[in-house]
Amino acid sequence: MKWPADRILDSSPKSFGMYEVAMPLMAQGIDLIHMEVGRPDFDTPAHIKEATKKALDDGLVHYGDFLGNLEFREALADKARKTNGLPAAPGEILVTNGLTHAAYVTCMAAIDPGDEVILLEPYYPQHINKVELAGGVVITAALDRANGFRIDANAIRSKLTDKTRMIALVNPANPTGRVFSREELQSVADIAQEHDLLVMADEVYEQIVYDDNVHTSIASLDGMWERTFTHFAFTKGYAMDGWRMGYVVANEKFIDGLLKVSMNDVAHVNVFIQEGGRVAVTDSQQCVLDMVSEDKRRRDLVVNRLNAIDGIRCPAPEGTIYAFPDISSFGVPATDLAVDILNQTHVVVESGGFYGKTAEGHFRVCFGAEPYARIEEAMDRLEAYFADRSVAKVG
Ligand SMILES: Cc1ncc(COP(=O)(O)O)c(C=O)c1O
């Protein structure tokens, strides 16, 4: 791939947002309450660890199948059929190093230089590098901010050109916490089919939905299996972020292309952790339900406490581990406010600006990375911070 030098500079890794801003304070040993990073604070359930240790002790230590262990893929295909409504065969699963790798492999396999990829904004920033590494061009289409960041089909249609190749969506959505309805997904499906586009669906939060919300895989809608790369991972639902394990589910016609990238990239995923993954999907899902129930308790705490602060409006997220409060009434750029909050309270929240300009005036507040008592402490500090409005007037 030949890029001009400035293009390579433009494509430098995107920052890690407020985590990066907080690093000097962490280096000084200051105890920060982290509500910016999106990692679960639960331990991986014991039975998953045990199965993995056993696999190692049983000698599952040699090269394996490039797509992933067959028994594991059989279990994943079964799960994809029963839970997600995808007509997947074991040969239509590629096990990857987390969802990050699933997205990378998909972008490298499916995007040609010059292809345009539409990201729904507020977007998941890590998609940008992957599209650009494949030589693609990121085009953003705003979600409907005035309507709780619903999908706006007209905004997508207005961004279509003859170079559009793919629409990428995250559902449940990071950073907004929306769980897209069937009707919203159908509007994307209609566009994809009318214009013969691919869809990349990041469904890493599939299990983390609250109240009556239901997660729907866009690939389960009529005509979408043929054009969708669906990405799942063990990262959030099973608290296995450090294990690095996810998978792509896609029509068999795409598998050779995906395999060509992943084989040359990592050969295949570590074989004994796949045994832990197999047990995770085939054993009881009670551990997931328990974690989601604790996430909901934390969500309610954060939403209630933020809404009690004068000037903040925080709808309850329908899924994920993120609240997305509107802080625009303070009239201060979100990043300035987040930096001041960090310095004054040692609570780290993410600035909406990290997710594109549509998210300006918002914070993303993760309630999944700290235990309940620490979140309570963070909310006490934020309440005190905003009670002193003179402190909030920064920038
Ligand atoms: C939307 C989304 N996709 C992907 C990831 C990364 O997943 P993984 O750790 O499995 O690579 C995250 C992590 O926060 C995420 O929020």
Task: Compare 247 and 395 and report the one with higher pLDDT.
Answer: 247
Q: Are residues 39 and 52 in the same domain?
A: no
Is pLDDT of 3 > 90? no
Q: For residue 199, what are the β-bridge partners?
A: 167, 228
Would you state the pLDDT for residue 16?
78
Ligand 1: distance of its center to the CA of 229 in Å? 15
Residues 97, 147, single domain; the answer is yes
User: Across residues 137-161, what is the average pLDDT?
Assistant: 98
Look at 1-10, 42-51, 217-226 and tell me which has the smallest mean pLDDT.
1-10
- Banded model confidence at residue 389, pLDDT cuts 50, 70, 90: low
Of 34, 72, 54, 13, nearest in space to 234 by CA? 72
Element (H, E) at 184: helix 182-194
**Domain-terminating residue out of 242, 266, 282:** 282
pLDDT confidence of residue 242 = 97
Specify the CATH number for the domain of residue 39: 3.90.1150.10
Q: What is the pLDDT of residues 73-106, one digit of tens each?
A: 999 999 999 999 999 999 999 999 999 999 999 9
Q: Is the peptide bond before 172 cis (omega within 30 degrees of 0)?
A: yes
Predicted local distance difference test score (pLDDT) of residue 14: 53
Among the residue ranges 96-100, 308-312, 354-358, 388-392, the one predicted with the least confidence is: 388-392
Q: Are residues 166 and 191 in the same domain?
A: yes
Atom index in ligand 1 nearest the CA of residue 124 equals 1
Taking the C-alpha atoms of residue 271 and residue 234, their distance in angstroms, rounded to an integer, is 15
Torsion of CA 291, 296, 297, 301, to 10 degrees: 140
One domain for residues 14 and 69? no
CA of 195 to the centre of ligand 1 (A): 28
SS3 373: helix
Q: What are phi and psi of 289, to 5 degrees?
A: -60, -40
> What mean pLDDT, rounded, does the chain reach?
94
The verdict on 169 and 145 lying in the same domain is yes
Total domains in the fold of the chain: 2
User: Of the candidates 229, 252, 282, which is a domain's last residue?
Assistant: 282
Is 208 in the same domain as 293?
no
Ligand 1 mean position, distance from CA 53 (Å)? 25
* Residue 339 forms part of a structural domain: yes
Ligand 1 centroid – CA 99 distance (Å): 6
Dump pLDDT digits (tens) for 199-245: 999 999 999 999 999 999 999 999 999 999 999 999 999 999 999 99
Q: Out of 104, 126, 207, 234, give the residue to mutate to test ligand 1, the one with the largest number of ligand atoms within 8 Å of its CB.
A: 126
Identify whether 23 is part of a domain.
yes
Q: Nearest CA to 314 among 298, 322, 326, 328?
A: 326
- Is residue 116, in this structure, part of any structural domain at all? yes
Note whether residue 148 is domain-resident: yes
Share of the chain above pLDDT 90, in %: 93
Domain containing 135 equals 46-282
pLDDT of residue 72: 98
Closest CA to 172 of 292, 286, 74: 292
How many Å apart are CA 203 and CA 235, to the nearest integer? 11
C-alpha torsion angle, residues 65, 66, 71, 75 (rounded to 10): 180
Phi/psi of residue 38, nearest 5 degrees: -100, 60
The answer on 197 and 97 residing in a single domain is yes
User: 282, 306, 339: which is the final residue of a domain?
Assistant: 282
Residues 216 and 314 placed together within one structural domain of the fold? no
Residue whose pair of structure tokens reads 């199965």 in the numeric block: 51
Query: Do the beta carbons of residue 111 and residue 85 sit within 8 Å?
Result: no
161 in the same domain as 16: no
pLDDT at residue 331 in the model: 95
Question: Does the residue 241 lie in any domain?
Answer: yes
Rounded distance, CA 93 to CA 74, Å?
A: 9
Q: How far is CA 125 from CA 91, 119, 141, 297, 351, in A?
A: 30, 9, 14, 28, 12
Query: Is there a single domain that holds both residue 17 and residue 59?
Result: no
First to last CA, the chain: 42
> In the structure, how many helices (H) and strands (E) does the chain have?
14, 11
Q: Range with the lowest mean pLDDT among 3-17, 93-107, 266-280, 364-378?
A: 3-17
In a domain, residue 392? The reply is: no
Ligand 1 pocket mutation pick from 39, 41, 99, 245 by most atoms within 8 angstroms of CB? 99
Kindly indicate the confidence band of residue 7, based on its pLDDT and cuts at 50, 70 and 90.
Answer: very low
Radius of gyration of the chain (CA): 21
Q: What is the C-alpha to C-alpha distance for residues 300 and 307, in angstroms, rounded to an integer?
A: 11
Same domain, 98 and 123: yes
Say if residue 10's pLDDT is above 90.
no
- What contacts 24+ positions apart, CB below 8 Å, involve 23-31? 25/342, 25/346, 30/346, 31/346
pLDDT at 393: 47
Three-state SS at 143: coil
pLDDT at residue 326 above 80? yes
Predicted pLDDT at 4: 47
- Is residue 254 in some structural domain? yes
CATH code for position 259: 3.40.640.10
Same domain, 240 and 303: no
Least confident of 105-109, 315-319, 350-354: 350-354
CA distances from 42 to 166, 242, 339 (A): 35, 12, 27
Confidence of residue 395 (pLDDT cuts 50, 70, 90): very low
* CA separation for the pair 341, 287 (Å, rounded): 35
Ligand 1: residues whose CB is within 6 Å? 38, 98-100, 124, 170, 174, 202, 204, 233, 235, 241, 246
Q: For ligand 1, atom 7, name the residue with the nearest CA.
A: 99
CA 124 to chain centre: 7
